[in-house]
């Protein structure tokens, strides 16, 4: 085969340090745009970015040459640096993240899920949501080390 073709999409989830409600209404839209810019700068495609006060969800398309750990380190470091410089000197992301592969046939469903985070979280906190994502994704985890 003379070329490489991939369909690599990830649903990324990460929270503010200690799940503090630091993503204010005033910050939210600018942060989502900034995160999208970081994704593009790294050669990825931002398909949806959303969340609530204490965490972010992002659906991104990556290439075969991306290393997820490097991609996430840059996404979190660049965005937290921008927030600290421009908006909140005490801002920080929690260590770690969740990354879940998304098949092409489920992209619209995940986009909708991400866009409706505020409504979704009226009945469910981040901890419960995250455990459900882990279990749905078949991810082994030790509850002692989630929070």
- CATH, domain 8-145, list 1.10.3720.10, 3.40.50.410, 3.30.450.20, 3.30.70.1290: 3.30.70.1290
Q: Which two tokens stand for residue 24?
A: 């204010």
The pLDDT profile of the chain, 147 residues, written as one tens digit per residue, is 688 999 999 999 999 999 999 999 999 999 999 999 999 999 999 999 999 999 999 999 999 999 999 999 999 999 999 999 999 999 999 999 999 999 999 999 999 999 999 998 998 999 999 999 999 999 999 999 888
Predicted TM-score of the model (pTM): 0.95
């Amino acid at each position: 085969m003379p070329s490489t073709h991939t369909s690599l999409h990830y649903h990324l989830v990460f929270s503010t340090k200690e799940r503090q409600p630091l993503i204010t209404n005033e910050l939210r839209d600018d942060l989502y745009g900034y995160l999208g810019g970081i994704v593009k700068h790294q050669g990825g495609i931002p398909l949806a970015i959303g969340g609530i006060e204490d965490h972010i969800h992002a659906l991104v398309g990556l290439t075969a040459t991306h290393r997820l750990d490097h991609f996430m380190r840059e996404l979190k470091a660049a965005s937290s640096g921008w927030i600290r410089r421009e908006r909140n000197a005490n801002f920080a992301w929690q260590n770690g993240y969740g990354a879940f592969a998304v098949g092409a046939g489920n992209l619209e469903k995940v986009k909708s899920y991400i866009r409706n985070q505020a409504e979704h979280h009226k009945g469910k906190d981040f901890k419960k949501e995250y455990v459900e994502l882990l279990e749905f994704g078949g991810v082994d985890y030790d509850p002692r080390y989630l929070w």
